[in-house]
Each structure stands twice: as C-alpha cells, then as structure tokens.
Structure 1
C-alpha cells in the first residue's frame, strides 16, 4: 500500500499478548495509526520460559528491538531430548546451518514486558474487555464491556485461544482438550540439583510425561515444566504435590527431587487445549492472528514464535498489497499452510497406545482428534 494510505489507516488490535504487541510494533513502523485494546487491567504473564527461534529474533532485529529482547534472554545453541534417566535420544543444534542468530531463552513475563516497552506511550489501552465486533465491510466496530466503542479501518483479533473475534465472525467451535496437563514453575538454578550447567534446553520424555528444563541463566533461574497425560479437562484443575510426583515416577532422581521441592503456590497448573484448524481467518476488514487463528499445543514450542511470525507477515502484506482486502488475503495465504502443519505436528505428542497404557479405559473423547 502507498505510504499515504498506510498513514491514514486506523488499526485496532484486540489483545496485548505476544502477537498483538508484535503486530502493533510492526504496523506502527509502517506509519499506521495503531491502538491496542487489552481486557486485563494489568498485564502479567504467568507460566515460565520459552524459546524464541532465530526467525523470530530476526524479526526483532528488523524492527529495531533485538537488543531489548536480547538483554533479558539467554542465547542457546543446543536442544536435547533424553530418556527419563538421562540417556540421549536426540540432539539438535540451533540455529540451523546458515542462520547466524541464536535461539534465545526468555521468561514469558520478561518477554511481554520487553515487547510492551518498545511501543509508544498511550498505544495500549487496558481494561477493555471485548463484548462484540461488528464487521461493516469497509471497517469494523468494537464494543467493550466498559461501555466504550471503537471504529477502525482494520481490526486484528489477537485475543487468544478463547477469542471473541473468532467466535463472533469466523468459527463457533470450542477449544479442544489434548488429554494433558501442564505444570510450570520457575525455580532458582541453585535448587536444580546441578542439572543446569549451560544455556541449552533439555527435555526428558517417558511414559506419558515430558519434563522440560529451560535455563534462564541471566536470571540464575530455570524454567521447570512437566507435561503429563491426564483425562481431567477442567481448564484450571486441582492438583496436589502427590499428583505431580506420580507423573515423574521413574525419572532421574534429581528431577524427582526438584518436583518434591516445588512450592505448589508458585506452580502454574492448567489443562492443555488447542483449536481445530479453521477455514478462514479474515473478512475484508477483520483478521485473526496468533492463538486466535491457530492455537496449537506446546510440543513444538511454536505458539509464541508463530504469533510473532504472523505479525511480521501481516506487516509485510500490508506494505506489499494494494489494499487492506488484498493484504489480508495475502497474509492468510502466506501463514495458514505453515500453521496448519504446525498444529497437526503438535498434536502428535502422544500415541494412542501410550495413552491407553497410562490411562486404560479413560481416554478423553477429544484425544481421538489428535491423529
């Protein structure tokens, strides 16, 4: 689009998470009038650590914010998969051959803080819970629970797995339970029984459980994540220390000790959900991105990375296409085949036989959709 057209374009982004904040940065660099509306009164990111892939870090370099992310993260060179007792299964070097930027390991809270810190003051509006969106063809109107309404030339739904924008305009399908729970905590590296010796991510896998040790050595901490099979699809299930210890039975005794030492009040506990692939992400003036468009299971570590990649692809499309309508079509054509594949691959975390072995006769119906 012409620079003059972009500068006259009013964009409203619903959601100030990774995707929404990244899109706000990328689109504002094009000169568009961007505002972000977030339902929370305070943005706090629960959970633990994630890995930002080289392509994601390269987007930050392109937007001039690489240093802001790098200073609160640790570069990592290797990802290892091991048996429960630490025997090697696979070792992958990252970055892949030919890429010079490293994967960076970062705490989720530090990540969102860094993204929001590079946005202009006043761009993000807190306390705006979306109630409805009206697509008018050449624009859209957002109505919020606080009584305000906003009209924009382009609305971007970056409002997560339970997206109001998606439900109102594109798909009324509910999120799909994976048959797993995720238990996440951040602990001091000093309490990791000597298991954090470098900046490399390690995953221990066996009989229905995966344990991720993701170093955050710039914080002298480690993200300790357990993903375990469980038929309870309650969104925020009640779980005891004994439940956690049962999931790590047979693992390296140091991993068991870390689990035993956890303060349950600091453990983020949730059932793991994604969404089925939806056919259409956009109309002429409204578009979905990130988890709102393609929420996926975390087995491939691609949720946050895909949201940032969406933001970059959307900005590229807005720059290169002749109109908003053409840009949104180009964005979907570019990103949807990629995320459809990632969604499918991420659902292959467990075999049906393994689920039956761990929970005989208790397989949730939704697991059958995992393929």
Structure 2
C-alpha cells in the first residue's frame, strides 16, 4: 500500500499484550494510525521469564527499540538439556545467530511488555476497553465495548490471546484445549540456584513426567524457575500447595528440590496449560487474528511470544507490500500459518507415550478438548 494509504488507514488493535503491542509498534513504524484497546485498567504482566530469539531481536532493531529491549534483558549463548540428576544430554548455541546477527536475549515478561508498550506514542493505548461485540462490514468493522463505547476501523487486529473474543465472535467458537499439564513459575534470586544458572545458559532438566527450566535473568540477579508437570486437573488456575510442587521434583538434583522447597508460594504463578486447535482461517477482509488469538501453543518450544512478534512484523510487511488490506491479510496468513501450524503440532509432543500413560491411560491430553474454567 502507498504511504498515503497507510497514513489514512484506521487500525484498531484488540489487546495490549505481546502481540498487540508489537503489532502497534510495527504498524506505527509503517505509518498507520493505530489505536490499541486493552481490557485491563493497567498494563501488567504476570509470570516469569522468556527467551527472545535472534529473529525477534532483529525485528526490534527494525522498529527502533532494540536498545530498549537489550537494556532490560540478558544475552544468552546457548541452551542445555540435562537429566533430572544434572547429567548433560546436549548443549547447543541458539539457532539463527549467524542469520540475524543477534543472539537470544532472556527477559522478564513484565519488563518485556513494559518496554514494548513504553515505545508506543502517548495516548495510543486505551485501557478499560473490554471487547463485547464486533460487526464486520467487509471493508471495515465496528467494535462495541462493555463500557458502552464503540469504534470503527478499516483494519481490526485481534491480539486478545487464547480466550480471544475476536476469534470467538467471527472465526470459531471452539474452546481452548487442555494440554494435560501444569506450569509452576516463579522468579528467584540467582544465589538460590546454587550455581546452576550463573553462566546465562537456559537449562532444561528432564524427569519422568516433569521438566524443570532455569532461565537466567543475569541483569536482574535472578532466575526464572519453571516446573512443568503432567497433571489431570484441567482447572484454569488449579489449587496447588508447596508440597504438591515439591513432590513433582522428587528424584531431581537435590539443589532443584531445595529451590522448590524455598519458593514463596505467594509469588508462584500456577496455571494449567492450554493451547488451541489450528484455526482454519485467520482473517476476513478487514479483521485478522495474530499471536495466541490465532495460534496459542504449549510452551515446550518457547515460541509463543516469538511467534507473536514475527506475526506483527509479517503483518506490517504485508500491508506495505500489498495493494489492499484484503490482499495483505491473505499474504500474511499464507506466510505465517504454515509455520505456526507446525509449531503448534510440535509443541504438543513434549512427553513420551509412557509418561502420558501414567497420567492419561489410553488418552492423549493434547487431543482432548476441555472447557476452560475460571
């Protein structure tokens, strides 16, 4: 699209999370007029750490925010896979380093969303706007919010996560799928990891039915500590005690057991893991899904946030290159959907058949739909 057309394009982004904030930044750089609608009354991200891959870091450099992201993250040379009792299985450098001239950076989720949203023009993000209705007119769409306000845009970007209202209203009413596992996450002092994360490498320890991840946040003097375990309880926010979590790491290196015993449960994020089935079509002529709204996936590959960032870049590129919004949305889906379909598929294969049979005899939890609770 011509620069003048992009400047006159009214874009509404639903959701100010990774996908929404990244899309807003990318489209602002391309010259579009963007408004972001966020249901929360304040921007706040819970959870722990994530890894931003070289391809994502290259996008940030393109958008002029590479320095801001690097200022609140730690570069990492590689990742290591180990047995539960701390014997190395493999160590690799992060892929894509040579292709993009960047390495992976490890960052706290809160710092990441603060840096992304902080890069947007003042007033672009409108808080307290929970989407209720969306009416697709073909060349535009009208949004209705629970606070009584409405807005019409030439392009609506549904970046409203795994429980996406945009997806449910226009594309599919299929509910998220329980992955048959829980994730327990906290940020702890690096001193409390007994030297197991001092060098900046991401480490994954593999036990039977349980994985433990140590993701160093060296710039903070902290480590993101994640225990992911098979569990049949699909409650969205399950009730879990410290004894429950300690029990899941029995048989792991004694230092990991001690880390778990020392957790402050008030600071532990506990959730059941869900993804969604691949969505057949991500767009109409004026509405498009990105990020988790389009392709929420399990976290075993560490690709959720990275996929959202690459979506944002690909969408902006498609709008610049195409002659119209419908053509751009079709090109965007053609570029990104094959990639995320495959990542969704791979991310469902984080466990052996024997491990699954221990908890789900005769079933495959990634294939069994469960209604989201809570």
When normalised by structure 1's length, the TM-score is: 0.97
Alignment of 1:323-342 (within 5 A): 323-342=324-343
1: distance between equivalents of 2:183 and 2:203? 16
Structure 1 contact 77–95 (Cα < 8 Å) conserved: no
1: distance between equivalents of 2:296 and 2:107? 20
Hey, what does 2:372 align to over in structure 1? none
Hey, what does 2:317 align to over in structure 1? 316
Hey, what does 1:237 align to over in structure 2? 238
2: distance between equivalents of 1:196 and 1:302? 21
Q: Over residues 216-261 of structure 1, what are the superposed CA-to-partner deviations in whole Å (9 max), with x where a residue is unaligned?
A: 0100000000000000000000001111011101000000000000
State the secondary structure of the residue aligned to 1:339: helix
Structure 2 contact 357–363 (Cα < 8 Å) conserved: no
Structure 1 contact 95–101 (Cα < 8 Å) conserved: no
Hey, what does 2:78 align to over in structure 1? 78
Cα deviation for residue 360 of structure 1 reads 6.1
2: distance between equivalents of 1:119 and 1:222? 28
Hey, what does 2:87 align to over in structure 1? 87
2: distance between equivalents of 1:91 and 1:171? 41
1: distance between equivalents of 2:354 and 2:293? 31
Structure 1 residues 328 and 349: alpha-carbon distance in aligned structure 2, compared to 1, 3 A threshold: same
When normalised by structure 2's length, the TM-score is: 0.96
Cα deviation for residue 160 of structure 1 reads 0.1
Hey, what does 1:27 align to over in structure 2? 27
2: distance between equivalents of 1:322 and 1:298? 36
Hey, what does 2:118 align to over in structure 1? 117
Hey, what does 2:256 align to over in structure 1? 255
RMSD: 1.2
2: distance between equivalents of 1:331 and 1:349? 29
State the secondary structure of the residue aligned to 2:46: coil
Q: Over residues 117-152 of structure 1, what are the superposed CA-to-partner deviations in whole Å (9 max), with x where a residue is unaligned?
A: 110000000000000111010100010000000000
Q: Over residues 51-105 of structure 1, what are the superposed CA-to-partner deviations in whole Å (9 max), with x where a residue is unaligned?
A: 0000000000011100000000000011000000111112110244623201000
State the secondary structure of the residue aligned to 1:98: helix
Alignment of 1:1-371 (within 5 A): 1-96=1-96, 98-99=98-99, 100-357=101-358, 359=359, 361=361, 366-368=365-367
1: distance between equivalents of 2:202 and 2:176? 29
Structure 1 contact 179–364 (Cα < 8 Å) conserved: no
- List alignment gaps of at least 5 residues for structure 2: 370-374
Structure 1 contact 215–222 (Cα < 8 Å) conserved: yes
2: distance between equivalents of 1:179 and 1:220? 33
1: distance between equivalents of 2:365 and 2:33? 42
Deviates more, 1:88-97 or 1:330-339: 88-97
Structure 1 contact 14–37 (Cα < 8 Å) conserved: yes
Structure 1 residues 253 and 148: alpha-carbon distance in aligned structure 2, compared to 1, 3 A threshold: same
Cα deviation for residue 365 of structure 1 reads 6.4
Cα deviation for residue 353 of structure 1 reads 2.2
Cα deviation for residue 194 of structure 1 reads 2.1
State the secondary structure of the residue aligned to 2:98: coil
Q: Paired residues, what number?
A: 368
Structure 1 residues 356 and 282: alpha-carbon distance in aligned structure 2, compared to 1, 3 A threshold: same
1: distance between equivalents of 2:366 and 2:344? 14
Structure 1 contact 19–158 (Cα < 8 Å) conserved: yes
1: distance between equivalents of 2:166 and 2:365? 24
